[in-house]
Amino acid sequence: MENRALARGPLRQTLVSRHTGHRVDPEAPIRIDHRQALIYTLSKAAELEHLIICQYLFAAFSLKRDTSEGLSEEMVPVVRGWARTLMRIAEQEMLHMALVQNLLTAVGAGPHLGRPNFPVPPRAFPAHISIVLLPFSEAALRHFAFLERPEGDAFDDAEEFAAIEQAQPLPQVEEDEIGPIVSDFQTISHLYRSIEDGLAALAEELGEEGLFIGPPDAQATGDDFRFPELVAVTDLVSARQAIETIVEQGEGARGDWHEAHFGRLSAMLDQLIAARAADPSFEPARAVLAAHVRPPESGAAVALISSRFTVRATDLLNAIYEVMLQLLARYFAHTDETPAQLAALADVAYSLMAQGVAPLGELITRLPIGPEYPGRMAAPTFELFYDADYLMPHRLAAWRLMVERLNGIAEFATSCRDECPVGLVRQLSEITDRLHGLAGRLQSAA
C-alpha cells in the first residue's frame, strides 16, 4: 500500500516525473471546497503576511544610518534609501494583512492576528516558504525576492534548501476531508490565486449573500486607516479587488513587477552587488543577531540577551507591539463602539507602530546582546507574550483592559530611561512621551 505521506507534495511531484516523464504542476490551485477550508487558508495567509512584515522590519532596523558607523558620505543616502524602501514595503504588507482580515470577517470569521513566534517552526508553512529574521545583506535580499517572486519565476534562494531539509510536505486535501488543510503552495501569489478560486467556487455554490455573511461595519477602510487601497469586502468583486492589490503590490504577477516588492528588492540587490564590487569592504548593516530575551516555548536553540537595558528595551518593544495587535483585533471584532472610538483604535494602533515600534526597533539595534556575544547587537524578534484576542466582547471591560495595558507600558518605558545609555536617552525619552500621549488618546476615547 502506498504511503500517503509520500504520495503528496514536492516528493510526489519528483516520483511522478521520474516514472511517467510528466511533471505534476506544483502551482495547481489549492482545493478550497468549504467555508472552513477557506477560513483556515485565509488565516494561514494572515500569519504569513504578519511574519513577512517582521522580516522586513528586522532588515530595515539593522541598517546603519551615518558616517559615524563607517558609511562613506556617498553611501549614506543610498543606505538610508534602502531603509525607507524596506519600511515602505513593510507598510504595504500591513495593508495586505488588513485586507486579509477584511476577507476573513467578510465570510463570517473573526480576525486572525496571531502567528508562531520566531524561530518559525519549519512545518508551519510549506517547505518553499521559509520565514527567518535576517539583517540586511545579499542573502536577505535574495531570500525576500524569492518569497515575493511571481508564479513560475526560478529565483534562487539558499534558505529554501535548508527549509526543505527540515519541513515535511503538506498534504493535499482529499475529496472526503472534513478538516481544513492547506496544501503545498509554491509562491505567495499561488496562495492568493487559490484563495480567489476558492471564493469564486463557494460564491457559486452558496450564492454571494450566503458566502459574504459578515457585518459590513466590521470592515476596515481607508477612512480609519491610512491606506487608500484598503477596501471593504462585501461581495466577490471587492474580494477580488483586495486580492488584486495584494498580488500587484507584492509580486506584480498581473502587472509591472518592476514597481512591485519583487522588483524593488531585485533593484536593491543589484545596487548592493555593485557597491560591493566597487568597495569589497562595504558593509551597510550593523552586526545584529536575532537574540531573544527568554528561551522560546518551542525549545529551539537561540541566542539570549544578557545586557539588562537591552532586555528591558526589547521587552518594551514587544509589549508595544502586543497592544497594537490588541487594538487591531478589537477594531475588527468590535461590538457597540462609536465611529469616533473605532477611529481612535485605528489611529492609536497605527501610531504605536510609527512612534513606538519603529524608533525603538532602530534603537535596539545599537544595543549589545551581552559579553557572551562580543561586538554583536540585538534586534527585535517580535515575541508575542499574549494572544491579541483574549478581550471580552463587552466594550467597557475590553477598553478598560486596553487602556490599563497601554498606561502600564508607558510607565515601564519611563522607568527604562533610568538605565538608558547616555547617548540614547533623548531618543528613548521621545518614545516614552509619545506612549504617554497615545495612552491619553485611548483613555479619552474610552
Judged by average pLDDT, the poorest of 232-241, 279-288, 417-426 is 417-426
Under 8 Å between Cβ of 40 and 182:
yes
CA 360 and chain centroid, separation: 18
Helix (H, G, I), strand (E, B) or coil at 368: strand
Q: How confident is the model at residue 29 (pLDDT cuts 50, 70, 90)?
A: low
What mean pLDDT value characterizes the chain? 86
Whether residue 179 is predicted with pLDDT greater than 60 in this model: the reply is no
> Can you tell me the mean pLDDT for 37-43?
93
Per-residue confidence (pLDDT) for residue 20, from 0 to 100: 41
Q: Max alpha carbon distance in the chain (Å)? A: 70
Instruction: Please check whether the two domains, 29-286 and 290-446, share a CATH topology.
Output: yes
The pLDDT of residue 252 is 53
More confident residue, 28 or 396: 396
* Main-chain dihedrals φ then ψ at residue 179, nearest 5 degrees: -85, 135
Closest CA to 305 of 378, 384, 412, 380: 378
Q: Which CATH number fits domain 29-286: 3.40.50.11540, 1.20.1260.10, 3.20.20.70, 1.10.3720.10?
A: 1.20.1260.10
Tens digit of pLDDT for each residue in 340-374? Answer: 999 999 999 999 999 999 999 999 999 999 999 99
- What's the grid cell of residue 230? 484598503
Mean pLDDT of the 282-295 span:
97
Whether 119 and 51 have beta carbons less than 8 Å apart is answered as no
Give dist(CA 411, CA 368) in Å, integer: 24
* pLDDT at residue number 157: 55
> pLDDT tens for residues 61-110?
999 999 999 999 999 999 999 999 999 999 999 999 999 999 999 999 99
Mean pLDDT, rounded, for 411-421: 94
The confidence band for 24, taking pLDDT boundaries of 50, 70 and 90, is: very low
**What pLDDT score does 239 carry?**
98
**In 10 A of CB 189, how many CB atoms?**
26
Residue 298: band (very low, low, confident or very high) from pLDDT cuts 50, 70, 90: confident
**SS3 (DSSP) at 370:** coil
Q: What's the confidence (pLDDT) of residue 125?
A: 81
Would you say 267 and 82 are in contact if contact means Cβ atoms under 8 Å apart?
no
Per DSSP, the three-state class of 314 is helix
Whole-angstrom distance, CA of residue 132 vs CA of residue 135: 10
Q: Is 411 within 8 Å of 382 (Cβ atoms)?
A: no
First to last CA, the chain: 62
Q: Would you report the helix, strand and coil content of the chain in percent, each value rounded to 5? A: 60, 0, 40
User: What's the pLDDT score for residue 177?
Assistant: 54
191, 48 Cβ separation under 8 angstroms: yes
Average pLDDT of the residues in 233-238: 98
151 confidence band (pLDDT: 50, 70, 90): low
For residue 296, count other CB atoms closer than 10 A to its CB: 16
Band the pLDDT of 393: cuts 50, 70, 90: confident
pLDDT in tens, 2-23: 333 333 333 333 333 334 444 4
The pLDDT-based confidence of 53 (bands split at 50, 70, 90) is very high
Closest CA to 147 of 164, 160, 135: 160
Q: What is the reported pLDDT for 228? A: 93
Task: Domain 290-446: state its class.
Answer: mainly alpha
Q: Which residue has the cell 500517503?
A: 4
Give me the helix-helix angle, 138-148 and 261-278, nearest 10°.
160
Residue 126, pLDDT score: 77
pTM as predicted:
0.88
Mean pLDDT, rounded, for 131-141: 94
In the chain, % of residues over pLDDT 70:
84
387 pLDDT tier (thresholds 50, 70, 90): confident
**What are the boundaries of each domain within the chain?**
29-286, 290-446
Higher pLDDT, 174 or 146: 146
Considering Cα of 271, then 284, then 261, then 149, what sign does the dihedral take? positive
Residue 128, pLDDT score: 72
Question: From its phi and psi, is residue 160 left (phi > 0), alpha (psi between -120 and 50) or beta?
Answer: alpha
- List C-alpha distances in Å: 239 to 45, 117, 232: 14, 29, 8
E strands, 345-430, where?
none
